[in-house]
Amino acid sequence: MVPFLDLKKINDSFQPRLGEAIMHTVQSGWYLLGEEVDGFEKDYASYIGTSHCVSCANGLDALTLIFRAYIELGVMKPGDEVIVQGDTYIATFLAISECGLIPVAVDVDPVTLQIDIDKMKEALTAKTRAVAIVHLYGRCAFSEEIARFCRKNDLKLIEDNAQAAGCKFSSDRRTGSLGDAAGHSFYPGKNLGALGDGGAVTTDDPKLARMVRTLAFYGSEKKYIFNYCGRNSRLDEIQAAALRIKLPRLDEDNMRRREIAKKYQSEITNPDVILPYPDDDKAGENNVFHIFPILAKDRDSMQEKLREKGIQTLIHYPVAPHLQKCYKGKIPVRFPLSVAEHIADHELSLPISPVMTDEEVNMVIDALNHPF
Ligand SMILES: Cc1ncc(COP(=O)(O)O)c(C=O)c1O
């Protein structure tokens, strides 16, 4: 049996230091807003390459707090539009609509599986205030062309970095430092996963960082004085301590993910499978392979055959956000999202993780190449 993701094995590989760090925090008697959180925010800002990191409760909150902060700062107002790629986890959309902004879904490129830049440009209206790019599946979605388009049209560029911790755009620029602000998730299954929920905002903008911190602390900067209707969204000391143990190994873990991806890309030969990113440098650091997505002709039967052979796979994601009941017919879809819908019908995610053995990787390849 090859599990999709063996979280116990991943966390066991950090022992005994992980357990010791947690026990140290338990014994410290200090569980929120303490030195572990402070330390992690500094470590993570320096790792990502931004001047600020504000931790919070999860990735959805991180993205939501960014948009809320821009509203409180007068940069955006409810009713404004945010262009967002149509193939993503629903959280990217939820963060936008929760703030009264309108997610304008645009299609993705069939090769990169990232935002289609021409369609992004066509979606611009007088109400557009931001573009939300998603480093989906762990692949960098940023390009200088997107940044130029945002600068030229006075739009904020928001990165959803939930799936791409450690990813690089170039040798000295990581995702999470490329736009105006980025939301990160430390959900346990992410490349940098906590032992529960966790998230962060990174940015170089001190005003934005301050507003995000204020909104995440009930809307208060001064004890019992509330200038904004905020929320309580915090990373706790135990999660921060765990993340500080795990962060130093993130690059090495991502390298192992790339090694597995490279093997999948060169050894999977089933003609019914379309392998991702044919044009990318296979060893390139622009992809940390949070997910290894294949497109299969008959996805559901392939998933079933793999299951029979003991290979666990998942689908990311079976229904695109604009077709979910919560959004269908309620948000603008300016152009057909045929590629996003095609991906939803054909995508299958293969097991990939830093603790997979070569034997397990070979079992996945063999099962895919000999499905009958
Ligand atoms: C692309 C994307 N955005 C946002 C999120 C939200 O993160 P969280 O689960 O920490 O709220 C996730 C993860 O679940 C995600 O995959």
- What are the extents of the domains in the chain? 7-247, 249-369
Nearest CA to ligand 1 atom 10: 59
Q: In the CATH hierarchy, which fold is given to the domain comprising 7-247?
A: Aspartate Aminotransferase; domain 2 (3.40.640)
**Tell me, what's the pLDDT at 199?**
98
3-state secondary structure (DSSP) of residue 280:
coil
Predicted confidence band of residue 334 (pLDDT cuts 50, 70, 90): confident
pLDDT at 283: 66
Q: What is the mean pLDDT of residues 325-332?
A: 94
Query: For residue 36, is pLDDT > 80?
Result: yes
CA-187 nearest atom, ligand 1: 10
CA of 185 to the centre of ligand 1 (A): 6
Class of domain 249-369: alpha beta
Ligand 1 atom 4: residue of nearest CA:
91
- The stretch 132-136 carries a mean pLDDT of 98
**Spatial distance between the Cα atoms of 323 and 85, rounded to a whole number of angstroms:** 13
Centroid of ligand 1 to alpha carbon of 57 (angstroms): 11
Q: Which residues, at least 6 apart from 281, have a Cβ–Cβ distance to it below 8 Å?
A: none
Ligand 1: residue whose CA is nearest its atom 8: 59
Cα(28) to centroid(ligand 1), Å = 31
365: CA distance to ligand 1 center in Å?
28
User: Whose Cα sits closest to atom 12 in ligand 1?
Assistant: 162
Are 81 and 55 in contact by the 8 Å Cβ rule? The answer is no
CB 257 within 8 A of CB 354: yes
Q: Which atom of ligand 1 is nearest to the CA of 190?
A: 13
Task: Report whether pLDDT(252) > 70.
Answer: yes
Model pTM? 0.98
**Percent of the chain whose predicted confidence (pLDDT) is above 70:** 99
32: three-class secondary structure by DSSP? strand
pLDDT tier for residue 284 given thresholds of 50, 70 and 90: confident
Burial readout 117-151 (b: 16 or more C-beta within 10 A, e: otherwise): bebbeebbeeebbbbbbbbbbbbbbbbeebbebbe
Give the position, in ligand 1's atom list, of the atom nearest the Cα of 290. 16
Reading across the β-sheet that carries 292-296, which strands appear in turn? 273-274, 292-296, 347-350
Tokens coding 205:
């903008």
Candidate from 90, 187, 197 with most ligand 1 atoms within 8 A of CB, to mutate: 187
The CA distance from 101 to 71, in Å, is 9
> What is the distance in A from the centroid of ligand 1 to the CA of 60?
6
d(CA 258, CA 306): 22
Show the DSSP H helices in 29-179 as ranges: 35-48, 59-72, 90-98, 117-122, 144-152
- Ligand 1 centroid to Cα of residue 320, in Å, is 15
Alpha carbons 297 and 289: distance in angstroms, whole number:
22
Give residue-wise pLDDT tens across range 338-349: 999 999 999 999
d(CA 342, CA 337): 9
CA distances in angstroms from 226 to 61, 64, 221, 223, 264, listed in the order given:
19, 19, 7, 8, 53
Ligand 1 centroid distance, CA of 133 (Å): 13
Mean pLDDT estimate for the chain: 97
Alpha-helix runs per DSSP H in the chain: 7-12, 17-28, 35-48, 59-72, 90-98, 117-122, 144-152, 206-216, 237-246, 250-267, 299-308, 338-346, 358-369
pLDDT at 64: 98
Q: Please state, in angstroms and rounded to a whole number, the distance separating the CA atoms of residues 355 and 249.
A: 12
Give the number of the atom of ligand 1 that is nearest the alpha carbon of residue 61. Answer: 11
Percent with pLDDT over 90 in the chain: 96
**Ligand 1, CB cutoff 6 Å, lining residues:** 58-60, 88-89, 91-92, 134, 160, 162-163, 185, 187, 197, 199
pLDDT digits (tens, 9 = 90+) for 154-195: 999 999 999 999 999 999 999 999 999 999 999 999 999 999
| Atom of ligand 1 at shortest range from CA of 63 | 4
Contact 347, 87 (CB under 8 A): no
Ligand 1 mean position to 372 CA, how many Å?
Answer: 35
Ligand 1 centroid to Cα of residue 162, in Å, is 5
Q: Contact at 8 Å (CB) between 61 and 216?
A: yes
Pairing of β 81-85 and β 102-106:
parallel
